[in-house]
Structure 1
Amino acid sequence: MRAVRIDEFGGPEVLVPVEVPEPAAGPGQVLVRIAAAGVNRADALVRAGVYHRAGRPPLIPGVEAAGVVAAVGEGVTGLQVGQRVMALDGVNAPGFYAELAVVPASQVTALPEGVGLVEAAALPVAWLSAWYCLRHLAKVTKEDTVVVKAAASGVGSAAVQIAAETGARVIALAGSAEKAAWAGEFGAQDIVDTSAHPDEAEVEEVLRLTDGRGADVVLDTVGGRAFGRSLREVGHGGRVVALANVALEPSTIDTRDFYPKNASVLGFQLTNLQIHGYDPRPDLRELAERVAAGAYRVPVESVVPLEEARAAHELLERRDNRGKIVLAVADL
């Protein structure tokens, strides 16, 4: 079968199209024929050899995908050959940059009608992360003001919609005027171009927009120095949810920026959550049903052929994309 493999850690150029043997489903597993695979920053970190669960080359990257069930292993119930599904597996890392992948049945979710396979491939990482952070951790309600950082990213554009659906006021932060305006199309009441409001000016703008009170919830998808700003942007009794460090730099903070406000700092890491028993299927089913009903729009900026995974990673690392990048594996 066709796949894209990493034979040595490095830049996008190490993503090499190859032919590899087809896998087979064992007990409790599902063989999925992949139609589309999501491209994530975790994939780029794996490729570079700096991800905490990278393993050693040779390896096939990819932790989310959508396709059709090709076979089911012994003991698998509730899934049938030919069924449209989405799959997530950051724990066992089956490698979705391929035509076929074997996944534990506990990580495979059937798709409702009305959700395309390209859309579905974008849900398991970015959308599930935004959903869990806002609905389960921050418990956002219509009374809240929510700041979403990197609002034009896959997680960010999902978070804007999820928060707005609750009736919350959303302040979307993005790295250019164009990106900020685009994020505003998903329900943000206020937008901030962080290129025009760098560093402390960002904090001042958030405080201005909240009449000095600060936000009830700050979703920090950036990390590094941005995390320190998030602590200054949150208000009394607020919640800061940290779910990434795409800045790849240390976060230097002053505890006086949050403890006097009785603010909470909440961490989220999807793979670690799964390792400790989280079953993603109920949340993924609810997300897919809302997409099918038209409550959410899944923005996919680029659909790139599997063999051009290098170009997809180059686009991802330029950080010019608005929404998700997806690899097209097969036409199903």
Structure 2
Amino acid sequence: MDKTPLVSIIIPNFNHSRFLRERLESVFNQTFEDFEVILLDDASTDSSVEILEEYAKDPRVSHLVVNKENSGSPFRQWQRGIELSQGKYIWIAESDDSCDPDFLLTCVAMMKNNPKAVIAFGGSITIDENSSKIEIDNDRWYDKRFKRRQGECRVFDGIRYITHNLIWINYIYNASGTLFRRDAYGDGSEFESCMRMRNAGDWLFWSIMATKGDVIEIYRKLNHFRFHSGSTTREGVNKGKSNGNLFDEDFIVLRHIFENTRIPTLRKMIRLGALMKKIQRAQMSEEDRKAAYHKGKELLKYNKKDYLTERISKTLSNFIPGISTIRNDRL
């Protein structure tokens, strides 16, 4: 490439040959053109590498890296791509998703207009394995308090975004719909814990990243987020559909948030109580449940008072608006 690109687009792939052309076409056909593409394959066993080699002939592709052995974590591929990147902004375009042609144009403009921002993300249309739209809306814009309008955006202080939003759930649920600043990643040492995770690494990643500056929510559905039938999602875990394997990572994320931000005592107690309730209701053996309780207590220091506070607040929230606000603390 003749000059340093403004955006580095990282496409980490593993066995997504079925969706790969759709993803690559949506990237190379962006209306914003100042970018490089970094293609990564994590030892796929399908025809992915042949497709990537075909697209690697495009002059905008700066790297094609094919692993001989699987890395064991999708977030290791994030790390590799970021290390190779040259751009001011990073877009991790997951290989099974696709997007609107104006995705980059919109997000880059928002970041340029808000120099303190480190993250800009939009909404997603959920699609199935055949790229057909399905009625699953992961964006939490349209409740009674937040009447977000299509096309609008809001800028939030990053710490407040963590303590009001990310403490409850990973609102930045899809990397493919997100642009972030490369300099906020630094040398990557702060993010090393994310790279060892298999499921909650993105939740921790955005929780760390948001400490570096502002967060922009763009109320446009610029991304196509693919939902795979039979997949285990974090939303499923929140509904109790888990064998307990994901709780260890939940504990790590919440411990990081509690240690690095100032959470009001009542909000913290309610959040810990909600976690205890989730463990109690999860589908797992009693032996696994006891082990999860013990590990959570060890890492987060929760106790029965937290559980009772959450249960009482749940009951009172029907009568006392202030309690309801704490329980539904979304900015």
Q: Which one has a larger percent strand, Structure 1 or Structure 2?
A: 1
TM-score, normalization: structure 2? Answer: 0.30
TM-score, normalization: structure 1? Answer: 0.30
